[in-house]
Amino acid sequence: SGSCRQRPAKMDGLQIKQNGHTEVHRPVAGIFLENTKEKITIYQAMKKRMLKAGTALALLEAQAATGGIIDPKNNRVLPVADAVKEGVVGPEMKEKLLTAEKAISGYVDPYTKQTISVFQAMQKDLVPRDYGLRLLEAQIATQGLFDPTQKSNISIESAIQKGYYEKGLLNDQMSELKVFYHPISQENLSYQNLLEKCTVEPVTGLCLLPLNGKSGSLNFNFIDYQSKMALKNEKVKVTCGKYMGMTVSLWELLMSEYFDEQQSLTCFHITYRSST
């Protein structure tokens, strides 16, 4: 029927297949230039001196630790080695990003040769404490902590039980996490705080950090983090299609194949107008 017609498959958020299953990947993906309305990579923003080198590296490490390096222009998620090969990041970052990537593949305990998690590597002094905390924060802020032995995301409760995390760890170390310099507010933020300053591109689900001056008008191709969360919290009962009989979030529905790009943007436009 017309109301449940399908459109060609696209990425809901950014999805990357790893070991046969799909990961939803939504860290800070890149930069949205408000003046020119274009998307650029974190690395390009660093080269254009829009981001401090330390902040850019930490953002890319967060990407590597949550599934891969993101090419926001082409909506791709790449392993570190491929990202370097294709110029999405520079070769000078390769070793550091490969280390961060082990938050997914697992670190190896030099004594037992066992695969261990970021938290365990931190406890054994295989990675610096502040660095380990940053990677853990990035995982928790996006798709959840990663169990490298099961190759899947797990809840904080499960991670605590398995010895992959310690209750209240990040809350106790908040000052160590504020390493992301935000050029507009000129303050050091935690990853979660920076994520909240991002806009979300509805068609791809990419979280992009707006930079390069303030725009006077809202670009309806992007929706702010708070509005996205509001749409996620708004539940609707569906009477047809693959969600028939299910209660799903408005965000999930608008991102599904039942709405084409223009319809999605119109709905976001209406939602924005009614909430202001």
| Exposure letters 74-108 (e unless 16+ CB within 10 A, then b) | ebbbbbbeebbeeebbeeebeebbebbbbbbebbe
Residue 64: its pLDDT value, please? 95
**Would the pLDDT of 8 be above 60?**
no
**Helix axis angle, 94-105 to 53-64, nearest 10°:** 30
Residue-wise pLDDT for 180-197, tens only, equals 889 888 889 989 889 989
Please say whether the dihedral angle defined by the alpha carbons of residues 264, 270, 274 and 276, taken in this order, is positive or negative.
positive
CA angle 131, 144, 91 (to 5 degrees): 45
Most confident of 3-7, 129-133, 246-250: 129-133
Higher local confidence (pLDDT), 54 or 271: 54
Domain 12-216: top CATH class = alpha beta
3-state secondary structure 37-72: CEEECHHHHHHCCCCCHHHHHHHHHHHHCCCCEEEC
CB 121 within 8 A of CB 129: no
What does DSSP say about strands 206-211 and 152-154: parallel, antiparallel, or unpaired? unpaired
Domain borders along the chain are 12-216, 224-276
Residue-wise pLDDT for 77-127, tens only, equals 999 999 999 999 999 999 999 999 999 999 999 999 999 999 999 999 999
**Would the pLDDT of 11 be above 90?**
no
Residue-wise pLDDT for 46-64, tens only, equals 998 899 999 999 999 999 9
Residue with tokens 């570190």: 80
CB 68 within 8 A of CB 41: no
Report the alpha-carbon distance of residue 136 to residue 48 in Å, rounded.
29
